[in-house]
Amino acid sequence: MNWTGQVYTIYAQFLSNFPAKTHGWISLALALLVVFGIYKVIRRQLVYLILLIVLLPASVPILKNIWQGLLELLKFLLSRRA
């Protein structure tokens, strides 16, 4: 099983602890927490990210890959809301 399958399994087990009616709200709350956490990290480390992009052009594809992974996570969390 790949890592995404493991994450889905762990998340499904986590949601099984709550009533089905609250799964959407829990997913939305987790998505908001992820966005807030990313915002806090970027706000604090913005200068370092800019220096990384300027001084190391190879970091751009790496950062794009990280953002794609984070967007997939958010899409997954928000899809569980419905």
- Sequence letter at residue 82: A
* Tens of pLDDT, residue by residue, the chain (82 residues): 677 778 788 888 888 888 888 888 888 888 888 888 888 877 878 787 777 777 777 777 877 888 888 888 888 877 765 4
Per-residue exposure over 21-37, b if at least 16 CB sit within 10 Å of its own CB, e if not = eebeebbeebbeeeeee
Whole-prediction pTM: 0.56
CA angle at residue 31 from 64 to 7, to 5 degrees? 75
What pLDDT was estimated at residue 52?
A: 73
What pLDDT was estimated at residue 70?
A: 84
C-alpha 79/C-alpha 73 separation (Å) is 10
What pLDDT was estimated at residue 33?
A: 87
What pLDDT was estimated at residue 65?
A: 85
The alpha carbon dihedral of 44, 30, 78, 9 has a sign of positive
